[in-house]
A = this chain, B = another copy of it.
């Protein structure tokens, strides 16, 4: 598939990377709400329309900018280590929480934005929410296979409980640290 040369003026890739870089920097510096689109395009040196050619909203741009970083942070836990699933889950949560120390405020803003824009909610859910949910359910299922977790437990509900716990803390600006991760795991496997 493809090999087809696209017709018309090609999109300027530098503009995209500049926009993402500026957006990520400004959002981390000032916070999502305080960064205006005008400020972003000015510092990136492009026109307003150029931004909206690639992303539907400010939230889409910031999501993509953060997403590239996040994938390097919170990758899947190494599957083949000698550790048990409980330790794997704990490490996975701890790594997520560490990343949230940097981008937690931005993520809060994106969750808020996703409640206000149905289209953005879809892509946010597909790119951010679902993948993480699936990692946890897979981990829990593996724990069941290994006999670490009773086969009678409902893995989907457990996953909702675990994810919900840190969403709840995040949105209520509670503490998200290794201690909380340990407690979550302890209650899950209790």
- A-to-B contact residues, CB < 8 Å: 33, 108-109, 111-116, 121, 125, 129, 150, 152-154, 157-158, 160-169, 171-174, 180, 183-184, 186-187, 190
**CB-contact partner of A125 in B161, B164, B172, under 8 A:** B172
| A115-B168 Cα distance, complex, nearest whole Å | 12
Copies of this chain, how many?
A: 2
Chain B residues near A171 (CB, 8 Å)?
A: 111, 114-115, 167
The 8 closest A-B pairs by CB, nearest first: A164-B164, A164-B168, A112-B115, A112-B112, A164-B165, A157-B183, A161-B161, A161-B165
**CB-contact partner of A187 in B112, B157, B169, under 8 A:** B157
